Amino acid sequence: MSATIKDVAKAANVSPSTVSRVIADHPKISDETKKRVLAAMKKLNYHPNAIARSLANKSTKTLGLLLPNTDEDLFNNPFFTQAMRGISIYAQKKGYYIMYSYSNNEAQEIEFIKRYIHSKWVDGIILLSAKQEDQCIEYLKNIHYPFVVVGRPKDTHSVLWVDNDNFQAMYNVVTSLIERGYRDIAFIGGPQSFIVTNDRLEGYKRALQGRGIEVDENYILTSEFSEQGGYEGAKKIIEYKVPEAIVTTDDLIAFGVLKAIKENDKQKIAVIGFNNTFLAPYQSPSLSSVDINAEQIGYQAAKLLIDHLEDKEEEEHNKPTHYIVDTKFIERESTKL
């Protein structure tokens, strides 16, 4: 079995990305580190593959942005446009361009990533979602290609990522409702294949349990990140038992919930969204929502990746690998007694 870049990194007591920089003859790698890595490569008879060698090419000053949406869905969810704005602001500030693609499924995402890399169009890649079993993250980690993830990956080791504390944000929201006297609180989230859904669901459950309220699984539903998903989920919950409040993991889901409540003449149900999109104040009633500061998430993601590419700090282990963006609960009519 032939040696891998991880084997070389272990033998030289450096990170795999440092080995890649030595292969690329990066000017900020010390001579002592280069000698140690080259000695390990010789000892293990390691020969860098085409992707590793491509790191030696001149920078394109372009980042590849992968959107987990079809062209039809892309601009329906304002989160992505807000995050893209933040990415663009920092990229432009540093003289970088953005090349983006959208996809229908994970297999297509992998193909786009391979095309970006092998064509040498981009210096690094930004992923706008993190799934439980994320093939894109695993692929990029395995080939040691520079990338950043918007969302907390399942395994944070050797990954650049930016996110909110989604567990705490939902925990705080549900705790606030309980303190106001609400006890029958339902949850409608996006697909459970996304880590953000599971983090917010766990925050919901822990808040109930912490106040001695039993978790009713019939009050928990997951759907697509869409208004229709929220509408159908709310109807199903109301048919089971009318809750006092419904918390959601996305404003689009909450919009559907508000529609279902209106149709069922259940106007006293409190509703909370997530993302605080620009349409939230214009719902009827206006929607209370958690502002996740999506633009700042995008800005910090671009900053982490570009700073990594430009090797701002000589000692790699001192460089930040993640950034947590603060959230803020914005209360409007949908939760006011």
CA distance 118 to 54: 8
Identical fold at 5-54 and 166-291? no
Question: Strands 147-150 and 124-127: what pairing?
Answer: parallel
Residue extents of the structural domains in the chain: 5-54, 62-164+295-324, 166-291
Q: Does domain 62-164+295-324 have CATH number 3.40.50.2300?
A: yes
In this structure, are residues 267 and 335 in contact, taking their beta carbons and an 8 Å threshold?
no
Would you place residue 163 in the very low, low, confident or very high pLDDT band (cuts 50, 70, 90)? very high
Query: How much is the pLDDT for 91?
Result: 96
CATH of domain 166-291: 3.40.50.2300
In this structure, are residues 115 and 88 in contact, taking their beta carbons and an 8 Å threshold?
no
Could you give the C-alpha distances from 289 to 153, 242, 249, 276, 329, in angstroms and in order? 24, 21, 9, 5, 6
The CATH number of domain 5-54, selected from 1.10.10.10, 1.10.260.40, 3.20.20.140, 1.10.1050.10:
1.10.260.40
Per-residue model confidence as pLDDT tens digits over 53-100? 555 556 789 999 988 765 445 556 788 889 999 999 999 999 999 998
Per-residue model confidence as pLDDT tens digits over 101-155? 887 788 888 888 888 888 888 999 999 988 888 899 999 988 889 999 999 999 9
Per-residue model confidence as pLDDT tens digits over 3-23? 788 888 889 898 887 887 787
**What is the average pLDDT score of the chain?**
88
